[in-house]
Chain A
Amino acid sequence: MWPIKFISSSIGKKIIMAVSGLLLILFLCTHALGNAAIFVSSHAFQTYANALHSLPVVVLLFGLGLLVILLFHIGFGINLFLQNRAAGGNRYAINTRVVKNSFASKTMPYTGLLILLFIIIHVFGFNNGPADMEVSQLVKEYLSNFFYSLFYIFSFCALALHLSHGFWSMLQTFGINHPRYNNGIAKLTLIVPAFFLVFFGAIALYFMSGLGASY
Chain B
Amino acid sequence: MSDIDLNLQIWRQKKSDSPGAFETYALDKISTEMSFLEMLDVLNEKLTKQGLDPVAFDHDCREGICGMCGTVVNGVAHGPEKEVTLCQLHMRNFKDGDTLVIEPFRSRAFPIRKDLLIDRSAFDRIIQSGGYVSVNTGGTPDGNAIPIPAQTAELAMDAAACIGCGACVASCPNGAAMLFTSAKVSQLCLLPQGQTERKQRALDMVATMDKEGFGNCTNERECEAVCPKSISIRNIARLNREYLMAALSEG
Contacts and interface: CB of A to CB of B under 8 A. Distances in A.
A174 B221 CA distance: 16
Nearest to A12: B247
A98 B178 CA distance: 18
Given A9-B210, A87-B174, A14 B217 contact: yes
Contact of A108 (B103, B207, B218, B234): B218
A103 to B, nearest CB: 11
B89 interface: no
A86 B210 contact: no
A175 B238 contact: yes
A105 B220 CA distance: 6
Contact of A96 (B75, B172, B234, B236): B75
Is chain B's interface secondary structure helix, strand, loop, or mixed overall? mixed
B173 A88 contact: yes
Interface residues of B, number: 46
Given A12-B247, A177-B234, A83 B215 contact: yes
Interface string B174-210: 1110100000000000000000000000000011011
A172 interface: yes
Contacts of B233: 172, 177
Interface residues of A, number: 39
B215 A91 contact: no
A55 interface: no
A15 B174 contact: no
A176 B239 CA distance: 11
Interface of B: 9, 22, 72, 74-76, 101, 103, 106-108, 171-176, 178, 206-207, 209-210, 213-222, 225-226, 233-234, 236-241, 243-244, 247, 251
11 contacts: A11-B206, A14-B240, A15-B240, A84-B175, A87-B214, A91-B175, A94-B101, A94-B103, A105-B218, A172-B236, A175-B237
Given A11-B217, A12-B247, A13-B216, 16 more contacts: A9-B243, A10-B217, A86-B108, A88-B172, A88-B215, A92-B72, A92-B106, A94-B101, A105-B218, A105-B221, A108-B218, A172-B219, A172-B233, A175-B241, A177-B234, A177-B238
